[in-house]
Chains A and B, each alone.
Chain A
Amino acid sequence: MFLNILTGNHKNILGINKRNLHFVYPGMKRSFFKIADEKLLAKELFQRLGVPTPLTMKVFERFGEIRNIENVFHGMENIVIKPNCGSGGFGIMVLGKQSENGFFDVKGNLVTFKMLKKHLADVLLGVYSHGMSDKVFIEERIIAHDFLRNIYDQGLADIRIIVYKNKPVMGMLRIPTSFSGGKANLHQGGIGIGLDIETGITTTALFKGSAITKHPDSGITLSGLQIPDFPQLLNYSESISREVPLKYIGFDFTIDQKIGPMLIEINARPGLAIQIANQKGLLEVLK
């Protein structure tokens, strides 16, 4: 066992050192990461290949463009503001109905145009991209599929698919909780649910490091659920991965009520917690 831990083969679990050395770096050029780091670039690619992705309504690149945002935002509602190069969900602002002075956010608090302008300026200045100046864009807000809203109707659930050498190898459904404040990330208190990668049926669920069977807020049983349109979702992953020069990719999907699976972004260094949710080491399937 000790030797296996040293060589990183213990129980087929993929550790961070091995992930970087054997799966992320080999034959890799820095420029390949661009598509994973810049959301706008990725979305262009998705659209070109006919993979549905939330509509980009406006891109801001310069400070001059955020001077009269009242006009820009005129008539918009249910939108999401995202930094182009942000990571970990930071700098994302979800807005609902518009009022006289601004927008109401998901919790019903008023976000004034002044606050919005400040947030846009922060993103442009690079607050969410480690000091490098950035772009910021407005995107339509997805209306989650009933399947997802039945489990928990706050925040946005997503589906992570790991693709290796153009083949989907592992998947996980991530559901927010009241504890995670609408975020689906596991380390922020979301639930990770393992998926049978062939069928898209949920298996074991994990919440705050321990196994659970029911959603702590809604009480819905979390195993044995069929993800709608799962074959389509796998098709999308395969077709994109053939166009991207990365061997090991994480795809983040969500499911729209009308359109079905929509690709949000791709990730060149997807996290390793997916192994815990599936109770299965990635090395078993990364062959």
Chain B
Amino acid sequence: MKYFKSWKITAGVLIIIPLLIIFVKILYFEFDFKNIIPDKGYALTLDIVASSDKPRNIKITTFAPMNNFKQTVLQEEGISDVYSFKLNGDNTNRAVTWSANRISGEYKMQYNARIKASAVRFQFSPETKLTRDYPESVQAYLGASDMIQTNSETIRRKMEELTTDKFTIYDKIKAIHDFIMNDITYVNFSGGLDAESALLLQEASCNGKSRLYVAMVRELGIPARLVGGVVLNSSPKKTTHQWLEIYINNQWVPFCPTNNHFAELPKNYITLYYDDKVLFNRTSGIGFDYSFRYENVTVPKDDVGQDYNNLPLNIFSFMENFDKFNMSIDVFIYLLMLPLAALVSVILKNIMGLETFGTFLPILIASVLDSTGVVTGLLVFTSVIIIVYFVNVFITRLEILYQPKMAILLSSVILTMLMIFSFGIKMQNYHLVYVVYFPVAILAITINRVLVMIEESSLLQLTKVYVNTVIVVLVSYYFINSTFLQLLMLSFPELILMIIGLNILVGRWAGFRLTEFFRFSMFYKD
């Protein structure tokens, strides 16, 4: 009974201290708790397949998502095994180029980006007064082009008819907007349609509507430009979208006459380029196909970094010093999340009763999955077990000593990984290529654990432990990669004390493990 008292007090103190520190941070240092609730964003992928029946120099150009008022690109990468990837340009119109010399056959390319996006709505009302004082760069957006015929008599007459009885700039633009939305029938043309034809045909797709809109606004003497992008509403999709922006009081304000967005855009409009451009430029005569796909992801708020940097009570306030050593914040996130993941695996073992390969192995594997991808990481783990099992059967017959046996197993596993890697390249399955990101140290621990288990238990037991391990890996992975929990731990690293306290509680818990409930179930059957 004497132990009883002390563990409760120890756990209680460890749990209360961090709560007090957090309380002080929020109350006296004005830490904004809202900042650690992450935003929603997208993981966008562009897949391209290009083929050529004879060797030639191939070049494919497109646009990567830009950074603007409604979207920020957080991470991006281009992947291809034969094409070289290049990303040019600043914030607007960032050109992506894939090129290869004297190439034949079919190859895949991929562009991945993590994008933080938000819906926007601009202050634009009948009271808005227009200042007609445009910088030189913007004045270019008043002129005519082949597709946007500002000089067209037809367009000018229609514009005047729509706007003569309107007196504010708001009403004039609204009249044009409503006309294009309601009176120009939407037709899904595959090609581009110029402004004048759109007006004459009284029907157009998004690009014809937007061009006519731009032409009419320019006719009013207000700069306007086309915007090209993709609306993330289904996945995968090939259809791209065009809308426009009007220069109102020193800022570009978005409008979409196709889906009726007036001085606003929803979150899922991803901007790829400005002006009247074509999304893909490519060497002629090649086979070419593309598609976009996306997933919803969570991303940190913009100013959250600022917030935990400036906090006096936070050990990461010294982050600027870490910067000098060229350290990434990811290192700290990784370290901070491991104690949490360990607590999760302890709960799964001592309360749920899931036996796994070692206590820490599942969370080590879970921490790898972010760089390898979930499927690829679990594929490596699964193949380690299969390889160790079968190679062990074979080398046991050779009757060799323990240490060389371990070395043989490690070599066999690495050989297998290299084969998966080459297979991934060959099949152009770029998920498989990430097998090489699986750290060798964790691989070696896995081999060791699996071998002990193989020698001590039946195949059935091994399978059970494997399934349990995969469950614990996936649950830990979810915790490690939760943006909210990452920001919570970064903002309040003192929570590690609470984790220690919770471990004490689990460590003193004498209740049934969930699996025992089933194991002893025949007691209930009377």
Contact = CB atoms under 8 A, between A and B. Distances in A.
Contacts of A6: 511-512
A193 to B, nearest CB: 15
B399 interface: yes
A20 B419 CA distance: 45
Contacts of A13: 512, 516, 520, 523
A144 B402 CA distance: 34
B512 A8 contact: yes
A67 interface: no
Contact of B456 (A88, A122, A279): A88
Interface residues of A, number: 36
A150 B1 CA distance: 49
Contacts of B201: none
A200 interface: no
A15 B452 contact: no
A276 B399 CA distance: 40
Contacts of A187: 461
Contacts of A7: 510-511
A34 interface: no
B520 A276 contact: yes
Interface size class of B (residues with CB under 8 A): 20 to 34
Given A5-B517, A16-B513, A21-B508, A127 B402 contact: yes
B516 A16 contact: yes
Given A90-B455, A188-B458, A15 B516 contact: yes
A10 B520 CA distance: 10
Contacts of B455: 90, 127-128
A209 B519 CA distance: 9
A164 to B, nearest CB: 16
Contacts of A8: 510-512
A211 B510 CA distance: 28
Contacts of A275: 520, 523
Interface string B156-180: 0000000000000000000000000
Contacts of B510: 7-8, 15, 17-18, 21-22
Interface in B88-132: none
A69 to B, nearest CB: 15
A5 B516 CA distance: 10
Contacts of B516: 13, 15-16, 272
Given A5-B511, A90-B456, A128-B455, 11 more contacts: A6-B511, A6-B512, A15-B513, A16-B353, A16-B513, A22-B510, A118-B399, A121-B401, A127-B455, A275-B523, A276-B522
Interface of B: 3, 350, 353, 399, 401-403, 452, 455-456, 458, 461, 508-513, 516-517, 519-520, 522-524
List of 5 A-B pairs having minimum Cβ-Cβ separation, nearest first: A18-B510, A8-B511, A15-B512, A8-B510, A6-B511
Interface of A: 5-8, 10-11, 13, 15-18, 21-22, 26, 88, 90, 114-115, 118, 121-122, 125-128, 130, 187-188, 209-211, 272, 275-276, 279, 281
20 contacts: A5-B511, A6-B511, A7-B510, A8-B511, A11-B520, A11-B523, A13-B512, A13-B523, A15-B512, A17-B511, A17-B512, A18-B510, A21-B508, A22-B510, A115-B399, A126-B402, A128-B455, A188-B458, A276-B523, A281-B523
